[in-house]
Amino acid sequence: MTTAKDLFIIAMDPGSKHSVGQGDLSLALAGAELIDLIGAGAVAVDGDRIVPGEPATPDDRLVGEAAAGLTRQAPYERIEDWLWRRGRDLSAAYQSALEEDGELTRKPGGRLSFGSERMETADTPARRRAADRWEEKEAVLAALASVVGIDDGQAEGERSDDEPGLDDEAVTTVVAIVNDAVMELEAVRQRRSIENAAFANLWRGP
């Protein structure tokens, strides 16, 4: 399993107090893929740009697709641009992949809704591995989950300023840019909501 798949499984936990939007999750999944590629030495971060290393063939199919889609010509792609490009419909891609692998079941009451059905994680070793990383507050998983608003069970004010303890500059950069992208997406949602409300008021009249 990968950080992205672990994040997806955690996002579907019915015990979470926060429902994660597919757009937010897609951006975070793209960030998780990039962090795994950094960890594998397949890419490096130079400022806000992704510098590919030697072509890699990750064991995971979706991370392999991410690696294959990297821009390999200077000046290389900005992390933010890559997140938006790679993140398009990425949560749906992970849903399909996990369902094919038997990691998901179609039941009522799941955390994420896809169309008219809801999905739940099956009781598998992958689910238990993701749960273990979450319970241990593994730094990268906790940071990405926090970006999309998933509660780790701590009381408000309990988290210190330097948590979740990321000790890699490149990873810290990616998490920060994922956070900015999620905030930008929320700003777009709010702007559209205001515009739609104004349009509805216009038609209703005084």
Q: Which of 30-39, 51-60, 94-103, 163-172 has the highest mean predicted lDDT (pLDDT)?
A: 30-39
Q: Which residues contact 122 (CB under 8 A, 6 or more apart)?
A: 102, 103, 104, 105
Position 157 scores a pLDDT of 39
Q: What is the pLDDT of residues 20-39, one digit of tens each?
A: 888 999 999 999 999 999 99
Report the distance separating Cα 120 and Cα 133, nearest Å.
Answer: 19
Position 55 scores a pLDDT of 80
Share of the chain above pLDDT 70, in %: 78
Q: What is the total count of domains within the chain?
A: 1
Model confidence at 177, in pLDDT bands (50, 70, 90)?
Answer: very high
Residue 94 pLDDT > 80: yes
Report the distance separating Cα 68 and Cα 49, nearest Å.
Answer: 16
Q: Which residues contact 69 (CB under 8 A, 6 or more apart)?
A: 85, 86
Report the distance separating Cα 196 and Cα 90, nearest Å.
Answer: 27
Q: Domain containing 50: what range?
A: 3-204
Position 120 scores a pLDDT of 81
Q: Which of 44-53, 105-114, 157-166 has the highest mean predicted lDDT (pLDDT)?
A: 44-53
- The helix/strand/coil state of 163 is coil
- At 70, phi and psi to the nearest 5? -70, 145
124 torsion bin: left (phi>0), alpha (psi -120 to 50), beta (else): beta
- Range of weakest confidence among 86-95, 105-114, 144-153: 105-114
Residue 58 pLDDT > 70: yes
- The helix/strand/coil state of 104 is strand
Position 118 scores a pLDDT of 67
Question: Alpha carbon of 95 to those of 102, 127, 131: distances in Å?
Answer: 11, 14, 18
pTM above 0.85, yes or no: no
Position 162 scores a pLDDT of 42
Query: DSSP state, 45?
Result: E
Report the distance separating Cα 62 and Cα 57, nearest Å.
Answer: 11
Position 152 scores a pLDDT of 59
How many CA atoms within 13 Å lie on the side-chain side of 12? 31
